[in-house]
Amino acid sequence: MAISREEQLRNNRRLARQGLGLVAILLIVIGLFTVVGWAVRAITAALDDSDRRESYADLLYGLVMFDTVPFDDVNTVDQSIFKQAAIWGCVYQVQKDGGSLDQYERDEETGCMILPQLEVDAYLTNLLGPDYQIQEGSFQTSEMNYVYSEEKQGYLVPVTGSVGLYTPEVESISTSGGKMYVTVGYIPTLASTTSLTLTTPTEPTKYMDYVFSRGENRQWYLSALQESDKQVVASSSSVTSESQAVTSDPQALVESNLASSVTSSEASSDSEPASDSTDESVDTEPEGDTSGDDSSQESSDTSSEETDGETDSSDSSDSQPEE
């Protein structure tokens, strides 16, 4: 039966509508997956603060590097502590960003790198805020002397003359009572460890809380440094490294062997009296029933006494004179 032209057109329109419907459903599914993906990434980015923790680790690198002592107010701290932290923080940041220290001018007499005062000031401004007044000029710390060049407007830095004690690892960032607490783990450098291990430590040996307060433009600036409530948890790797350090030290190995020898000799000397008492108890212990032996011994003693009596009487009779 032949299909009329009108019915054929209706079929074509119906097929077109079905095709458009499938395309619309496909686009809706793709859009749904896209929105879900965006939402997941947004939630992950909101929960993951690794970039923020890394930025604070870079900012606090100079203070952690030299194990700055705790303080309650930045204004009570010697400025040389902060200027030294700023100098080495700038050096660290340049190297981390892939730059080279050769970009800085060198002093002709000493060969030291000349770090511009502007970079030191910018570092301290980001750390302590714009209200912190920085005094230019040479200064001295327990680690080294820093010479300021008035002509070059910078500090002479012997980049190979200092080795940091720790590297920072920001564990957490929290806000409480209008202050922000940045808990930093101190990871010892290989040069600062006393054990004779060949591996660089990877776990913090202590934790400190860097306290930040609100400043201009509601920015956070360092205001105090205090010991953290977070405690170091001893791990099996630290125990293993300590044992490796002992065995790698010849003097410690000799002392350990000597101590073990003394301990073993004391243990053997303590065990000898116990063996003697055991032998005596074995030797003195009677075997079997001893009642028969006691009676036979008594009878033999009695017979010997009677024999002795007869002998005495015969001797006395022999010794009497004849009438």
Kindly state the tokens that stand for 268.
């053997």
C-alpha distances in angstroms, 57 versus 38, 144, 185, 213, 323?
29, 24, 10, 17, 138
**DSSP letter (8 states) at residue 71:** B
Q: Residue 188: is it exposed, middle or buried by C-beta count within 10 angstroms (0-12/13-18/19+)? A: buried
What pLDDT, on a 0 to 100 scale, did the predictor assign at position 8?
A: 79
Give the C-alpha separation, 117 to 32, whole Å: 54
Q: Is residue 194 over pLDDT 70?
A: no
Which of 178, 173, 155 lies closest to 210 in space, CA to CA? 173
Kindly state the tokens that stand for 146.
């820093």
Give the C-alpha separation, 219 to 214, whole Å: 6
User: Apex CA 14: angle with CA 12 and CA 19, to 5°?
Assistant: 95
Of the chain, the end-to-end C-alpha distance in Å amounts to: 187
Which of 200, 135, 208, 144 lies closest to 171 in space, CA to CA? 208
Q: Residue 132: is it exposed, middle or buried by C-beta count within 10 angstroms (0-12/13-18/19+)? A: middle
Kindly state the tokens that stand for 145.
């002397």
Mean pLDDT of 202-208: 91
Q: Is residue 311 over pLDDT 70?
A: no
Q: Is residue 87 over pLDDT 60?
A: yes
Mean pLDDT of 98-113: 86
CB-based contact 129:216 (threshold 8 Å):
yes
Give the C-alpha separation, 82 to 63, whole Å: 7
Kindly state the tokens that stand for 171.
């564990």
Give me the residue label for tokens 């603060």: 49
**DSSP letter (8 states) at residue 164:** -
**Strand ranges (DSSP E) for the chain?**
113-116, 139-140, 145-149, 154-157, 166-176, 179-188, 206-214, 220-227
Look at residue 187 and give its three-state secondary structure: strand
The model's pLDDT over 88-97, given as tens digits with 9 standing for 90+, comes to: 999 998 888 8
- What average pLDDT does the structure give for the chain? 75
Mean pLDDT of 239-247: 42
Kindly state the tokens that stand for 172.
């957490």
Mean pLDDT of 55-79: 93
Q: Is residue 2 over pLDDT 80?
A: no
Q: Is residue 160 over pLDDT 80?
A: no
Kindly state the tokens that stand for 321.
């004179």
**DSSP letter (8 states) at residue 191:** G
What pLDDT, on a 0 to 100 scale, did the predictor assign at position 41?
A: 80
5 confidence band (pLDDT: 50, 70, 90): confident
Give the C-alpha separation, 84 to 142, whole Å: 11
**Strand ranges (DSSP E) for 150-190?**
154-157, 166-176, 179-188
- The model carries a pTM of 0.59
The model's pLDDT over 11-62, given as tens digits with 9 standing for 90+, comes to: 888 888 888 888 999 999 999 989 988 888 877 766 667 889 999 999 999 9
